[in-house]
């Protein structure tokens, strides 16, 4: 017989480690046609980070994302980056890019100020224009200002900056410090079905509520969360590296290392819980790794809800679940475990 169960998993996750140097740097060049070139050391691995970083530069410069040409991941030409790791790219590289873009923009402000008869701090960059705050009709196209800066004033509008999350060392007495710049939070709920004759678990539905600061690109955030959930489902139910006595992996292939296919994926509802983090670029934090964290916990709680057994080693394969169900029926150890409620 099949039993339905629901479970919840929650997590927090640190973004921007501060225990070690964790810098990113960027250079932003505003071209004479009003487009911009962004140099960043970070590497795109499909998560869409270059899109997000281009959006951050565009927002800071008041141009369209399409206007920003992103050059990345080439150590010959771009600044070194700590890496596309630790869910840090949007936060750390994003902060560096925002600062670099602001430095380049400052040159435009200083060049445009006398042209518009105001002080540089009275200007803003919006809609491909440098305009006087509150007086948007007094404006100049960014392309014109960039041209003026380059060819008349001799001040090419280029900005470079780096960002390293502020470091707070650990107090050797108390062990306290500030190991990370900021944190994200998430809850995922799983609805599953357990077959008590085979022990097989099917995930029917997952809902995922994730805080990532400002969602700079919500579609990409969804993609990260859905991908993370598939990894979480694999972690919960299928994926296991097996080693022999010599420490050699005995399933180094996709025939025996089982990962989720399209058939294993449930319906997923994603809820992006936005909030503004004052330390992040335009309030953003990060989303990558956290997406895979609460899934297995939610699924194991749902298994308990469905058939009353606690699976404490992953993956919760059919064999393990069936064994636990049998033990429970035979009045074995499982029964002695306190119920979660």
Partner 1 sequence: MTDITLTVNGEEKTASVPPETTLLKMLREDLNYTGAKLGCDVGDCGACTVLVDGIAVNACLMLAGQAEGKNIETIEGLSTLEEYHPIQKAFEDVASLQCGFCGPGMIMSTKALIDQGEELTRDDIKDALSGNLCRCTGYTKIIEGVIDAYEEITGKKVPETNPRAA
Q: Which residues are catalytic?
A: 289
CB of 335 to partner 1, least distance (A): 27
CB 220 within 8 A of CB 53: no
> Is position 227 an interface residue for partner 1 (rule: CB under 8 A)?
yes
Task: Give the whole-angstrom CA distance, residue 323 versus residue 203.
Answer: 19
What is the maximal distance between C-alpha atoms in the chain? 88
Query: What would the x/- binding string for partner 1 be over residues 37 to 76, using CB under 8 A?
Result: --------xxxx----------------------------
Task: Give the whole-angstrom CA distance, residue 230 versus residue 203.
Answer: 11
Q: Which residues contact 146 (CB under 8 A, 6 or more apart)?
A: 30, 31, 32, 33, 34, 108, 157
Q: Which stretch binds partner 1 (CB under 8 A): 67-75, 109-117, 262-270, 306-314?
A: 262-270
Give 123 or 225: the residue with its C-beta nearer to partner 1.
Answer: 225
Q: Which stretch binds partner 1 (CB under 8 A): 80-88, 182-190, 225-233, 314-322?
A: 225-233
CB 31 within 8 A of CB 215: no
Q: Which stretch binds partner 1 (CB under 8 A): 164-172, 175-183, 261-269, 312-320?
A: 261-269
Q: Which residues contact 99 (CB under 8 A, 6 or more apart)?
A: 26, 159, 161, 162, 163
CB 236 within 8 A of CB 228: no
With CB under 8 A as the contact rule, the residue among 246, 253, 331, 341 that binds partner 1 is 253
CB 36 within 8 A of CB 61: yes
Work out the burial of residue 201: count CB atoms within 10 Å of its CB; fewer than 13 is exposed, 13-18 middle, 19 or more buried.
Answer: buried
Give 14 or 228: the residue with its C-beta nearer to partner 1.
Answer: 228
Q: Which residues contact 173 (CB under 8 A, 6 or more apart)?
A: none
With CB under 8 A as the contact rule, the residue among 223, 327, 329, 337 that binds partner 1 is 223
With CB under 8 A as the contact rule, the residue among 14, 79, 165, 266 that binds partner 1 is 266
Q: Return the half-sphere exposure (C-beta side, CA atoms, 13 A cut-off) of residue 238.
A: 18
> Is position 145 an interface residue for partner 1 (rule: CB under 8 A)?
no
CB of 157 to partner 1, least distance (A): 32
> Is position 209 an interface residue for partner 1 (rule: CB under 8 A)?
no
> Is position 191 an interface residue for partner 1 (rule: CB under 8 A)?
yes
> Is position 1 an interface residue for partner 1 (rule: CB under 8 A)?
no
Sign of CA dihedral 196, 199, 200, 202: positive
Give 2 or 128: the residue with its C-beta nearer to partner 1.
Answer: 2
> Is position 261 an interface residue for partner 1 (rule: CB under 8 A)?
yes
With CB under 8 A as the contact rule, the residue among 34, 41, 228, 281 that binds partner 1 is 228
Residues that bind partner 1 (CB under 8 A): 4, 45-48, 191, 204-205, 219-220, 222-223, 226-231, 253-255, 259-263, 265-268
């Amino acid at each position: 017989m099949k039993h339905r169960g629901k479970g919840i998993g929650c997590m927090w996750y640190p973004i921007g480690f501060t225990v070690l140097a964790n810098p990113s740097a960027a250079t932003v060049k505003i071209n004479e046609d009003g487009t911009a070139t962004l140099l960043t050391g970070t590497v795109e691995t499909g998560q869409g980070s270059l899109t997000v970083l281009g959006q951050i530069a565009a927002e800071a410069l008041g141009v369209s994302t399409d206007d920003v040409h992103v050059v990345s991941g080439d150590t010959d030409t771009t600044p070194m980056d700590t890496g596309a790791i630790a869910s840090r790219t949007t936060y750390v590289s994003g902060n560096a890019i925002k600062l670099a873009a602001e430095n380049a923009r400052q040159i435009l402000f200083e060049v445009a100020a006398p042209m518009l008869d105001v002080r540089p701090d009275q200007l803003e960059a919006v809609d491909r224009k440098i305009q006087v705050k509150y007086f948007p009709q007094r404006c100049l196209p960014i392309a014109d200002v960039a041209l003026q800066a380059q060819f008349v004033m001799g001040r090419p509008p280029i900005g470079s900056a780096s960002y390293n999350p502020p470091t707070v060392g650990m107090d050797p007495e108390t062990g306290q410090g500030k190991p990370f710049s900021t944190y994200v939070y998430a809850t995922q709920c799983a609805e599953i079905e357990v077959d008590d004759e085979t022990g097989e678990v099917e995930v029917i539905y997952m809902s995922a509520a994730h805080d990532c600061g400002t969602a700079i690109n919500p579609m990409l955030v969804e993609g990260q969360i859905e991908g993370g959930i598939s990894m979480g489902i694999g972690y919960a139910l299928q994926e296991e590296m097996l080693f022999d006595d010599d420490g050699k992996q005995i399933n180094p292939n996709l025939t025996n290392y089982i990962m989720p296919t399209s058939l294993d994926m449930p319906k997923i509802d994603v809820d992006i819980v936005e909030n503004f983090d004052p330390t992040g670029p335009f309030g953003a934090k990060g989303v990558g790794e956290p997406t895979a964290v609460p899934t297995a916990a939610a699924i194991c709680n749902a298994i308990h809800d469905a058939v009353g057994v606690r699976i404490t080693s992953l993956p919760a394969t059919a064999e393990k679940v069936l064994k636990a169900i049998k033990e429970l029926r035979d009045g074995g150890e499982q029964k002695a475990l306190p119920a979660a409620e």
